[in-house]
Every structure is written in structure tokens, then in C-alpha cells.
Structure 1
């Protein structure tokens, strides 16, 4: 009997330490701003047709408070934890928002995932992956240690994506893209761009998309290859340079040695009307330049 009593008392005192389920809703503006902050866990945002914000998920046993409030057109969702931090401070959140909302989302040790949200997006985390879709508005997505993936719909936008340790991918984008990684690759696949600025320190750059007639394209690596396959005709002045690597050109002249004393190569020519500009450089890597 005493043993049973001890077990029951132990369960009673343990209950407050368990994860807390969340299911809360607020009315919201159809095109308002959603501000989300979560230190650890996951943040999933889904656009829907209702003028409401719904938060569901679980809070770790040591989460201090979930702030969920509206001030005018702005809805704030913030996971507060004790100053000392510690275990049990993670939160797994699924947030449904009006589809035309703009987003300002931040995490520390948290993955961020966004789908069907059409407004401006500013997404950043320290340790975690970022995945999102872009529609008719600009997207900025950053991670320090994690991959960043953006799926576009070929509408003209400005997309800024970068990570320190991880890969960066944009598929189906258009307009302006700036993408970079310190230790990881950059892949731009499909779409048509007026501006593209791509760079890595240790990683490859791959560009398989179109460049508009007056477009500007810049790709730089320190230790990595640059593979460019332009979709359609190219109308640009093209300059390519490698310090220690080969240049393969599918639609123009052969590269030349920069000096008889160094292994560097350079390539300079004009394609089509030459109204655009293409600049590619790498320290230690090969360059493949083609069109399809």
C-alpha cells in the first residue's frame, strides 16, 4: 500500500513537468504581419483562406510561456523560456495563417518550414534547416548551420538565401537572386533571372536557368567548381577566370593561359547582342559554361 501511495504521489508531482499541448486561435488581418520566435524545436507555417491564426503543437516541460497576441495587423507568437535555458525548452509548433500574410520568423536550434504563404518572408535560424515557397513577394532565408531550400513559382521576386554550413537551393525562381554558402553548394534550377549573384567558399555553384537579355550574372568560388547551363540564347559579354582549374566552353572560343608561369586560364567573348554581363571566377575549381 505504501509503495502504491509513493507511485501515485510521484505521478502527481511529475504531471506539471510533462509537455503541454497547445491549440489556440486568434482573428487576424487577411494581409497582416506574423512574427514568430522559437528558440528550439520546429516552426511550421501553413497558409489558409481563413482570416485567423491558429497555433497547435506541444511545449516542452520547461517552457515558461507561449505569447500569442494581436496588436492591430500584427500577430506575435513567442516561446519564452527561463533565462538559464536547459532541457525541456523546445516547442513543436504548427501555425496556420492567412495566406497573404507577411512573415518574420526566427529560431536558434529550430527547423523552419513554410508552405502556401504568399506575403514577404524573412526567415532565419542558427542551427536548423529552412524550407519555403515563394510566390509574388520577396523572400530572405538564412541559416548558420543548415540547408536552405526555396521553391519558386517563376514570378519576379527578390530572393536572398544563404547559409554558413549547408547547401542552398532555389528551384523555379525568377527576377533577382543572391545565394551563398561558406561550406556548401549553391544550386539554382529552372526559372529566368535579371540578376544572379552566387558564391561559395568551399562548395560548387550550379546554375541551370535562363538569363535575360540585359541580365547580370556573377558566380564566384574559392574551392569549388562552377557549372553553368543557360536555358535559351545568351546575349552578354562573358568573362571567365580560373587560378587553378580548367574552363570548358560549349558555345564560344577556347580559353587562354593568363601567364606562362601560372596555371590560370581566362576566357572573354561576346555572345549575341552583348547587352548582358556574365562574370565567373574561381581560385581552385573548374568552370563549365554551356547552354541548352
Structure 2
């Protein structure tokens, strides 16, 4: 066989291999749908890229868009009320992900309104809208957004921003390096951030907040129970339409600033140690100094004392104000 014949044979083999390649080859388009139950459990895994999940009327699951250019395919299964969709990636990429999310998948996924949703990613941005059966959205490097979700809701990232809009139920929002913005939430709300700012505009009945090396700005309406703690940070909390709140707060090298309705009815127990300070702008009551050591303490009552406010600080500041 001469050289030209060998080259022709190689080209023929290559052409046959390309013709037999699966339709979902890396970077290819995907357009799949199937009928599912109204309360289907939906599990989605996409390591890189952008994913938008939208709840729609009707009992159908669909996924459209383009797959990650490094994808080895995808897996879509439905069995016993559970639908799973996974973009399959090479094992060689695990632990060595490129941080450029633009190189990943670009997908729009539709699910039934009443479905329960779970999403996981690594270098991925994800958003979900209108899912009412609960949602857990987690990624490592990327933004997480949820709007008009209901039920048990978890929005979680390590390096990225969290946006929560008009969600109702039991919300848990967590990031390590990034901002958390919540607007219009109701039910109960738990928020955690290590290095970042937190902004809440909520009517949740119960709110819990933890922040380290960051700031929190809380605008709360009708909240009955509030717990927050800060380390090297400042928390500003404004409670409106809460006549007998239960508040428990602590800070280390930070400030706790609480604004309450002028006619609030509660017992107050405030303590500042190691050089901390107490500024009471709610009543004329003044803190007392400890006989030994740099400690200040203040107890008083407003109205019939139905609520309970306990705040402590170490090397920080406590400030009370009235609306």
C-alpha cells in the first residue's frame, strides 16, 4: 500500500468516527423534554456555566441550550417520581476547574410549579423562579438567585453573591465570600456570611443572622423573633410593627444597633465588657459601671414588658434607637 492510500484510509476512519459521534458531543445543542408528575423531584447537576430554571404550568420537564464544550455527554432519567439531569464531565477536570463560567453550559430548564428542586454546581451561576415544592441551589464559585420560591429553600455558595426575592417558607442563605441580598421574604429566614455584606428587607416572623468580617443591614417588618451575632462587623437592625419582639444578639469587636417602635413593650438586658459601650436612645435609663473591671450593664422595662431584648458585646458597642 503506497503512502497516499494509507492517508486515504486514515481519513476514511476519521470520517466514520465523526459520523458515529453522539448528538450530545461537547458544545452541542440540547433540546429534550418529557412528561413528569406535578410534584416531581428534580435533581440537576451542571459543573460549569449558566443555568436558568423556571417553573411552568403543566407536568413537563424540558432542557434547552448548549452543553459545556468539555462535556462527555449528559444523562436524563425519570423514574418513580424522580427526574435527574446531569451534564457529564471528564474526571480529569474534578479538582482543577477553570474559573471562567463562560466556558460552561448555557441552559434553560423548565419544571412543574409544584416540583421539588435540587441543583449542584462548581463554577456555575444558577437562578430559579417560581418553584413551590422547595428548592436547594448550591454552587462553589458563582452567583445563586431565587425568586418567588416556596417551601424549604436553601441558597448557598462559597465565592459568590446570593439574591433572594419574594421567597416564602423556611429560607437558609449562606455565602463565605460574597454579598447576600434578600427582599420581600416571609416565613423564617436564616442568613450566614463570613466576608461580605448582608442586606435584608423582610417580613419574616423569625430571623437569624451570623456575620464575620462584614456588615448587616436589616429592615424588618413584623418580625417576632430576631437573633444575630457578629465578629468584627456591624449589624443595623430596624424592627417595625413589632410591639413585643424577642431579640437575642451578641458581638465581638463590633456594633449592634437596634431600632424599635417607640411604643415597644419589652424587658431589656444589655451588657458590654472589655471596653464596650452602651448607648440608650430609647429611654432615659443609663448603664451602670461595674465596681471592678471595664464592664457596663443596663436593665430596664418599657410598657408591660411582654417582649425580651438581650444584647451583649465584647469590645464593641450597643445602641438602641426608636422609630
Q: TM-score, normalised by structure 1?
A: 0.79
Tell me, what secondary structure is at the counterpart of 1:234? Answer: coil
Q: Distance in 1 between matches of 2:142 and 2:213?
A: 15
Mark the structure with the bigger radius of gyration: 2
Give deviations 1:186-230, integer Å, cap 9, x for gaps.
333233223322233233223223475564322333233222223
Say whether 1:276 aligns with 2:307: yes
Whichever structure has more strand as a proportion of its residues is 1
Distance 1:150 1:199, change over 3 A: farther
Structure 2 gaps of 5+ residues are 1-10, 168-183
48-57 vs 254-263, greater mean Cα deviation: 254-263
Q: Which position in structure 1 is the counterpart of 2:236?
A: 206
Number of equivalences: 281
Q: Distance in 1 between matches of 2:52 and 2:110?
A: 8
Tell me, what secondary structure is at the counterpart of 1:84? Answer: helix
Distance 1:172 1:258, change over 3 A: same
Give deviations 1:227-278, integer Å, cap 9, x for gaps.
2223574232222333344333232244425436655433322233322222
How far residue 165 of structure 1 moved from its aligned partner, in angstroms, is 3.0
Distance 1:284 1:105, change over 3 A: farther
Q: Which position in structure 2 is the counterpart of 1:288?
A: 319
Distance 1:242 1:43, change over 3 A: farther
Are 2:43 and 2:119, in contact at CA under 8 Å, matched by a contact in 1? Answer: yes
Q: Distance in 2 between matches of 1:107 and 1:223?
A: 35
How far residue 155 of structure 1 moved from its aligned partner, in angstroms, is 7.1
Q: Distance in 2 between matches of 1:60 and 1:101?
A: 26
Q: Which position in structure 2 is the counterpart of 1:218?
A: 248
Tell me, what secondary structure is at the counterpart of 2:158? Answer: strand
Q: TM-score, normalised by structure 2?
A: 0.72
Q: Which position in structure 2 is the counterpart of 1:148?
A: 162
Distance 1:115 1:279, change over 3 A: farther
Q: Which position in structure 1 is the counterpart of 2:195?
A: 165
Distance 1:236 1:102, change over 3 A: farther
Say whether 1:91 aligns with 2:105: yes
How far residue 62 of structure 1 moved from its aligned partner, in angstroms, is 1.0
Distance 1:157 1:55, change over 3 A: same
Residue from 129, 136, 144 that aligns with 1:115: 129
Are 2:262 and 2:282, in contact at CA under 8 Å, matched by a contact in 1? Answer: no
CA RMSD of aligned residues (A): 3.3
Q: Distance in 2 between matches of 1:184 and 1:98?
A: 38
Structure 1 gaps of 5+ residues are 1-8
Tell me, what secondary structure is at the counterpart of 1:128? Answer: coil
Distance 1:137 1:245, change over 3 A: same
Distance 1:281 1:114, change over 3 A: farther
Distance 1:24 1:221, change over 3 A: farther
Q: Distance in 2 between matches of 1:22 and 1:84?
A: 24
Q: Distance in 1 between matches of 2:241 and 2:294?
A: 30
Q: Which position in structure 1 is the counterpart of 2:178?
A: none
